[in-house]
Amino acid sequence: QVTLRESGPALVKPTQTLTLTCTFSGFSLSTSGMCVSWVRQPPGKALEWLARIDWDDGKHYSASLKTRLTISKDTSRNQVVLTMTNMDPEDTATYYCARTPPPSSSWYDFWGRGILVTVSS
């Protein structure tokens, strides 16, 4: 059974760094073609793709946010970590992690429930 769960702070202050952890089970990120991505959704707005980490430690970032994002993985602990620097109130959103399975690494078949992060002083 595949599950993903996001964890991290519900509230951060402007200019702080956000660290989110995606803990998953039911698959291994060392499997060829497996990827985990982060997607966010501001309240009432559309989904926004943020970043992806691949089984071979390949990393990909949204062009508009790449200077603020870092994604990493701990395969032994089944975790993917996303950090976002210099948080702003406009970064208030529900943050999701999702799995992209092999072979094509194209679609998201399992998602976490999401974590709402509010940026406010």
Looking at the Cβ atoms of 46 and 121, the one nearer to another protein is: 46
Nearest Cα neighbor of 29 from 121, 87, 90, 98 is 98
Buried b (16+ CB within 10 A) or exposed e, 29-65: beeeebbbbbbbeeeeeeeeebbbbbbeeeeebbeeb
Smallest gap, in angstroms, from Cβ of residue 12 to another protein?
Answer: 22
Smallest gap, in angstroms, from Cβ of residue 9 to another protein?
Answer: 20
Interaction site with another protein (CB under 8 A): 37, 39, 46-49, 52, 58, 60-64, 96, 98, 100, 104-109, 111-114
Looking at the Cβ atoms of 20 and 114, the one nearer to another protein is: 114
Smallest gap, in angstroms, from Cβ of residue 24 to another protein?
Answer: 14
Nearest Cα neighbor of 97 from 75, 85, 82 is 82
Looking at the Cβ atoms of 15 and 72, the one nearer to another protein is: 72
